[in-house]
């Protein structure tokens, strides 16, 4: 997987080319948009998924783990932490403290099917955080973690632990772990074709 990812990064493959590659290979569509990207250094970020799902807290029922603790001690360096908060845009599941914990652990990025706060700090930081939106209301006592390391579905995008997740300003795409090499090879072909096409178009634009 590492070699395939390195090649894809080297030629500038983005989430669009990966999604197109999955289409051309007859794989199920597994990409999503409508997200906001905060932080990072630009480009497309790749990592293995570490998943966590949250629901509205029920009285007397504690959650399995806090998301900041998962970022610091459960996910592995290079992983992309994927938190399914059900798309909740009113209660945040992330913030600057969580991002700092994720950075300490060397995570590659974060995907939130939910909201964050501290958006200014996150936008200026090195960790890419792909979120549904921002809000001020904290999750403590309001959202509980109900599963860790299990399949999650983010608005139709199915993500299993260990799958390859790629994120950028365009959104996210998830590639099943057993198809990564073939999908990324096809995505590199598509990227090369698009680069050649665009070079010709730029010549015409320049006149």
CATH number at residue 124: 3.50.30.40
Tell me, yes or no, whether 92 lies in a domain: yes
Q: Collect the ranges in the chain with pLDDT lower than 70.
A: none
How far CA 9 is from CA of 88, 121, 188, in Å, comes to 32, 27, 9
- What distance lies between CA 75 and its chain's CA centroid? 14
The b-or-e profile of 97-118 (16+ CB within 10 A means b, else e) is ebbbbbeebebbbbbbbbbbbb
pLDDT value for 1: 79
Tell me, yes or no, whether 184 lies in a domain: no
Tell me, yes or no, whether 104 lies in a domain: yes
pLDDT value for 59: 84
Cα angle 11-16-21, degrees, rounded to a multiple of 5: 80
Domain count, the chain: 1
Cβ-contact 111, 84 below 8 angstroms: no
Task: Count the helix, strand and coil residues of the chain and give each as a percent rounded to the nearest 5.
Answer: 35, 35, 30
pLDDT value for 17: 98
pLDDT value for 107: 98
Tell me, yes or no, whether 103 lies in a domain: yes
Which structural domain, as residue segments, surrounds residue 78?
30-177
Give the number of residues written for the chain.
207
pLDDT value for 62: 82
pLDDT value for 29: 95
pLDDT value for 139: 94
Residues sharing a CB contact under 8 Å with residue 34, sequence separation 6 or more, in sequence order:
132, 155, 171
Tell me, yes or no, whether 121 lies in a domain: yes
């Amino acid at each position: 997987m590492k070699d395939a990812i390195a090649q894809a990064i080297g030629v500038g493959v983005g989430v669009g080319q990966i999604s197109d590659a999955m289409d051309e290979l007859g794989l199920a569509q597994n990409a999503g948009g409508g997200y906001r990207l905060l932080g990072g250094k630009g480009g497309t970020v790749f990592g293995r998924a570490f998943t966590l799902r949250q629901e509205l807290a029920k009285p007397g029922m504690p959650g399995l783990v806090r998301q900041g603790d998962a970022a610091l001690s459960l996910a592995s360096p290079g992983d992309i932490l994927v938190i399914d908060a059900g798309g909740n845009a009113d209660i945040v599941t992330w913030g600057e403290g969580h991002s700092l914990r994720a950075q300490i652990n060397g995570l590659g990025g974060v995907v939130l099917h939910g909201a964050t706060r501290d958006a200014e700090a996150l936008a200026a930081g090195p960790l890419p955080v792909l979120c549904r939106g921002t809000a001020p209301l904290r999750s403590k006592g309001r959202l509980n973690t109900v599963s860790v390391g299990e399949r999650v579905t983010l608005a139709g995008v199915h993500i299993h632990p260990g799958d390859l997740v790629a994120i950028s300003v365009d959104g996210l795409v998830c590639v099943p772990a057993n198809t990564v090499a073939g999908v990324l090879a096809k995505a590199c072909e598509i990227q090369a074709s698009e680069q050649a096409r665009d070079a010709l178009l730029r010549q015409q634009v320049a006149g």
